[in-house]
């Protein structure tokens, strides 16, 4: 056997099988219908979803009376999920457009994060803010002590500054949930996934809040919402598949 163990020796040659080796006999090759395309398509029950709302400017946006304690707030749009369906929101994009100054009726978006200390956006599901977020839109003075980290029973300068920063949000009933003027994000940046669930019969609403007079002419304000619309049973099964283990002996995937 030329020094080869019996288990390592090649099989006897068989003219009918050609020169194939034992390793090739152990391999089973399969091909999915459609090839790689199968991993990039969704069932027909999954409906692509996108809504884009636009609002024209109003005089109240530019009024000198607008302030954090007297903000100008308005709804950009709302959508109620149909019965027995669930909306999975994967992306959002608030945007502000100005006149291009080149041709009449030609508009361009303002620079990213511009007007960030003047206005913000809000996303609600049945009048509730999904997730656990807290945006300090209005800057506060520097606190040179640890008053905010270790508050006492008495109100201190840090707490007063924090309250003043949230004046616009509190006046509009938004708490500190006003989104900054930035695209494509609600929570953490990629690669952490972002999904908001809007169940059957619930309403998702986008609002805009202006808490200082807008200093430039605006063409319109836009809010884009994207995701998929699926049957509720699809969403329920998905949640069951991602069920967390209840004890050490239970599997996390079903």
How do residues 214-225 score in pLDDT, each as one tens digit? 999 999 999 999
In angstroms, rounded to a whole number, what is the distance separating the alpha carbons of residues 87 and 196?
8
Q: What is the pLDDT of residue 248?
A: 53
Q: What is the pLDDT of residue 173?
A: 53
* CA nearest to 129, candidates 184, 20, 26, 206: 206
Q: Which of the residues in the chain have pLDDT under 70?
A: 1-34, 143-191, 244-254
State how far the alpha carbon of 244 is from the alpha carbons of 250, 251, 254, in Å.
9, 8, 10
Q: What is the pLDDT of residue 254?
A: 46
* CA nearest to 116, candidates 46, 162, 178: 178
Q: What is the pLDDT of residue 167?
A: 56
Identify the bridge partners of residue 73 per DSSP, sorted by sequence position: 209
Look at strands 119-125 and 196-198 and give their pairing: unpaired
Q: What is the pLDDT of residue 253?
A: 47
Q: What is the pLDDT of residue 42?
A: 80
Buried b (16+ CB within 10 A) or exposed e, 217-251: ebbebbbbbebbbbbeebbeeeeeeeeeeeeeeee
In angstroms, rounded to a whole number, what is the distance separating the alpha carbons of residues 125 and 245?
28
Tokens matching residue 121: 């956006």
Say if pTM beats, i.e. exceeds, 0.75. Answer: no
Domain ranges of the chain: 49-241
């Amino acid at each position: 056997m030329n020094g080869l163990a019996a288990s390592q020796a090649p099989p006897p040659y068989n003219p009918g099988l050609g020169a194939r080796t034992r390793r090739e006999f152990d391999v089973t090759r399969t091909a999915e219908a459609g090839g790689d395309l199968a991993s990039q398509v969704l069932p027909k029950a999954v409906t692509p979803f996108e809504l884009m709302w636009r609002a024209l400017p109003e005089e109240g946006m530019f009024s000198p009376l607008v302030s954090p304690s007297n903000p100008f707030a308005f709804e950009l749009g709302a959508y109620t999920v149909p019965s027995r369906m669930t909306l999975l929101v994967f992306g959002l994009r608030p945007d502000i457009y100005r006149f291009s100054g080149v041709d009449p009726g030609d508009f361009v978006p303002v620079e990213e994060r511009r007007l960030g200390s003047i206005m913000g956006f809000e996303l609600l599901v049945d009048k509730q803010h999904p997730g656990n977020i807290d945006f300090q839109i209005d800057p506060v003075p520097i606190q040179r002590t640890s008053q905010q980290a270790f508050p006492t029973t008495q109100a201190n300068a840090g707490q007063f500054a924090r309250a003043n920063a949230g004046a616009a949000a509190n006046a509009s009933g938004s708490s500190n949930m006003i989104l900054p003027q930035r695209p494509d994000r609600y929570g953490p940046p990629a690669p952490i996934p972002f999904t908001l669930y809007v169940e059957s019969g619930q309403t998702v609403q986008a609002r805009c809040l202006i808490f200082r007079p807008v200093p430039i002419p605006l063409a319109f304000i836009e809010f884009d919402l994207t995701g998929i619309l699926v049957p509720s049973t699809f969403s329920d099964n998905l949640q069951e598949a991602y069920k967390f283990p209840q004890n050490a002996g239970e599997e996390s995937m079903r």
